Structure 1
Amino acid sequence: MLQLLDFTGENIIATRANDLLGIKDYEKIHPFIHNIIDTGKKVRWYFEMDDDSGSNGFWEDGIIEINYGKMNFTHSADIERIAIVGVKKWENSMRSIMKPFTKAKLMYFDLPDREKAKEWILNQQVEIETNYIDNK
């Protein structure tokens, strides 16, 4: 399940995955994406993965192969940054999962670096990024 975190607002969508994710989770944040782009701003997404769920992953069986491919990410150009926060074992999977957002700057942060991730996602200054994940 995807939870909204308390610093969601303006052009920030802040979420924590604490269990299996599916299409309904994407549908939960979709209205927030529309609200942000309707104001003329770009979306910044803080995506934290709580590894205490005890599951073997965050994705429902078959979501990647069946459902994920059917999602229509028409807003990839509307997302400017994604901060992914989790444990190292999820980093490679998350790079693959976030491929539809290739126009966004992606940074992966370890769980102990949550505050750095929040700072990076909240920073509204235009800056040159030297350490973002390049999905090309």
Structure 2
Amino acid sequence: MIEQIPNLPAGTLGFRATGTVTAADYENVLVPDIEAAFAVNRKLRLLYHVAPGFESFEAGAMWDDAKLGFRHFSGWDRVALVTDVAWLRGLAGAMKIFVPADLRLFADADLEKAKAWIAEQPWDGGQQ
């Protein structure tokens, strides 16, 4: 199941995955929210929390995730992946060099740190 994480700053989306994540979860929750956000924002930030209680991704959900990421390949500003799932952390770490966003991994215990990082204002070069 995927649910949206509320109360994040404008231009930032957050999702929490628990149980088994299906292609229908992507098609009914994640994809419409992301497409709507990209309709009004050139760049987005994403907080993705694979929470305790997560069991698996269905193959169709993994495919939908890949398609969505490639469709908006250069549109991601920051991505925070919050999880203690070892294989996801390993996969994200290996893929990090191929992602044009600032991608950071956080442990479940550091969810609040991830929220703070995703909400930080970009450095303006000292121009105010």
Report TM bin, short chain: 0.7 to 0.9
Find 1:92's aligned residue among 90, 93, 101: 90
Displacement of 1:39 after TM fit? 2.4
Query: Aligned-pair RMSD on alpha carbons?
Result: 3.0
Normalised to the residue count of structure 1, the TM-score between the two structures is: 0.71
- What's the counterpart of residue 114 of structure 2? 117
Unaligned runs of 5+ in 2: none
Report the CA distance shift for 1:78/1:93 in structure 2 as closer, same or farther (over 3 A): same
- What's the counterpart of residue 51 of structure 1? 52
Displacement of 1:77 after TM fit? 1.2
Give me the whole-angstrom Cα distance separating, in 2, the residues matched to 1:36 and 1:110: 26
Give me the whole-angstrom Cα distance separating, in 2, the residues matched to 1:36 and 1:126: 23
- What's the counterpart of residue 21 of structure 1? 21
Displacement of 1:36 after TM fit? 2.5
In the alignment, is the contact (CA less than 8 A) between 1:84 and 1:106 conserved in 2? yes
3-state secondary structure, aligned to 1:121: helix
In the alignment, is the contact (CA less than 8 A) between 1:87 and 1:111 conserved in 2? yes
Report the CA distance shift for 1:70/1:5 in structure 2 as closer, same or farther (over 3 A): closer
Displacement of 1:18 after TM fit? 0.5
3-state secondary structure, aligned to 1:76: coil
Displacement of 1:78 after TM fit? 1.1
Find 2:105's aligned residue among 103, 108, 132: 108
In the alignment, is the contact (CA less than 8 A) between 1:46 and 1:83 conserved in 2? yes
In the alignment, is the contact (CA less than 8 A) between 1:81 and 1:104 conserved in 2? yes
Normalised to the residue count of structure 2, the TM-score between the two structures is: 0.75
